[in-house]
Amino acid sequence: MIKQQSRQGGRKAGIRQPKIRSGGRKTTIGGQALIEGLMMIGPTKKAMALRQPDGSILVEKMPMHRLSQAGKIPFLRGSVRLFQQLVSGTKALLRSAEIAENDNSDDSVEQQTRAENPSPREKTWFAWFGKIGQSVERFLTKHSDAMLYVSAVVGIAFSVGIFILLPNFITGFIKQVTLLSDSRSAGTVIIFNLIEGLIRITLFISYLALASKMKDIRRVWMYHGAEHKTIACYEDNQELTVNNVRRYSRFHPRCGTAFMFIVILVSIIVFSFVGWWGRWVNLLIRFALVPLVAGIAYEIIRLAGRFDNRLTRAISTPGLWLQRLTTAEPDDSILEVAIAAMRAVIPEEPQSDRW
């Protein structure tokens, strides 16, 4: 009898830990949790599987864009691929939200009655907002691809603002309070960068912890855990069935959570080499260095994924810890969706998805 994994992903008998055993594989296939669904990206295919309101699973193939030359250059490809992933993820997320909204399309009797018998003032408001809504809908339909890129840029700007610029702003305030005038000496620069890094880590973990408390987000975390289980089962050369996938850990060493944490650690080192300047100069320097930081972090993750030794396990460990916040134990219905998404992107050539 196969034992199911505990919510904490503990080390009980029957639970396979997040490592590749001899004879297994390391795949480049990755995914992103959606609203009641999962997107998987393989070397030649991209697809998403969504649980529909009627209980069935909808699998949709997504166009696979050819990687640009910039996406193949070391230390530059990290930023390029991250941006492309954000665009694809935003598109899939909007599609999953559209499917999920169908489940809430039936209004209550009271809402229907009020909509059918609006007051004169409500009629005016409905007509006014209706025209605005139609105009917005026409614009979004006409410029849907452009809006996806805008959404990705906004998402990156928000992340950079919260996790890169805000910690530096707070650290600059601490510098003013402590009245340290020799802010360009090597020792002072290192101290302030460590403080900035500590603030950045605190904000990142706090953000994840708060998000994990939200009911809807927890469902997304369950799909995230299902993604890891399914990939681990595939890498272990086992048949993709619910019973098989269920046995694996929801934690996986090559996860986007680990990438984000590596970005934070790399930023501490890189920013230490540029000194400590005025507040606005510091912010501009950090903003300009974000692509470099992301590129270095990406190369570290790729290198760590190729080998299994003490160093690479040490690199992966913080990400595995953070996955206690960003994943949850999925039920069988969620595993079914993850398996459907995975099967849709497995390449015909067995070795084409090797890490």
What values do phi and psi take at 135, rounded to 5? -65, -45
Residue 107 has pLDDT above 50, yes or no: no
Q: Using CA atoms, how far apart are residues 160 and 128, in angstroms rounded to an integer?
A: 37
Q: What is the pLDDT of residue 175?
A: 83
Give tens-digit pLDDT for 181-194: 555 677 788 888 99
Contacts of residue 291, Cβ cutoff 8 Å, sequence gap at least 6: 76, 78, 79
Average pLDDT over residues 118-138: 50
Residue 12 has pLDDT above 50, yes or no: no
Residue 318 has pLDDT above 70, yes or no: yes
List the structure tokens of 143: 């410029």
Task: Calculate what percentage of the chain has a pLDDT beyond 90.
Answer: 43
What values do phi and psi take at 24, rounded to 5? -85, -170
Q: How far is CA 138 from CA 97, 141, 142, 143, 154, in A?
A: 19, 5, 6, 9, 21
Give tens-digit pLDDT for 127-136: 544 544 455 4
Q: At 304, is the secondary structure helix, strand, or coil?
A: helix
The better pLDDT of the pair 154, 179 is held by: 154
Domain ranges of the chain: 30-103+145-343
Identify the band that residue 167 occupies on the pLDDT scale cut at 50, 70 and 90: very high
Average pLDDT over residues 229-233: 97
| Residue carrying the six token digits 């090597």 | 186
Burial class (CB in 10 A: 0-12, 13-18, 19+), 229: buried
Residue 32 has pLDDT above 70, yes or no: yes
Identify the band that residue 179 occupies on the pLDDT scale cut at 50, 70 and 90: low
Identify the band that residue 21 occupies on the pLDDT scale cut at 50, 70 and 90: very low
Query: Comparing 61-70, 73-82, 97-106, which segment has the lowest mean pLDDT?
Result: 97-106
Q: Using CA atoms, how far apart are residues 175 and 189, in angstroms rounded to an integer?
A: 11
Q: What is the pLDDT of residue 138?
A: 53
Beta strands in the chain (DSSP E): 30-34, 37-41, 46-51, 57-62
Q: What is the pLDDT of residue 17?
A: 42
List the structure tokens of 25: 């594989």
List the structure tokens of 305: 């994924």
Sign of CA dihedral 162, 168, 171, 177: negative
Amino acid at residue number 18 = P
Check if the beta carbon of residue 42 is closer than 8 Å to that of residue 350: no
Give tens-digit pLDDT for 232-253: 999 999 999 999 999 999 999 8
Q: What is the pLDDT of residue 278?
A: 83
Sign of CA dihedral 129, 134, 137, 143: negative
Q: What is the pLDDT of residue 9?
A: 39
Give tens-digit pLDDT for 266-308: 999 999 888 888 888 988 999 999 999 999 999 999 888 888 8
Q: What is the pLDDT of residue 206?
A: 95
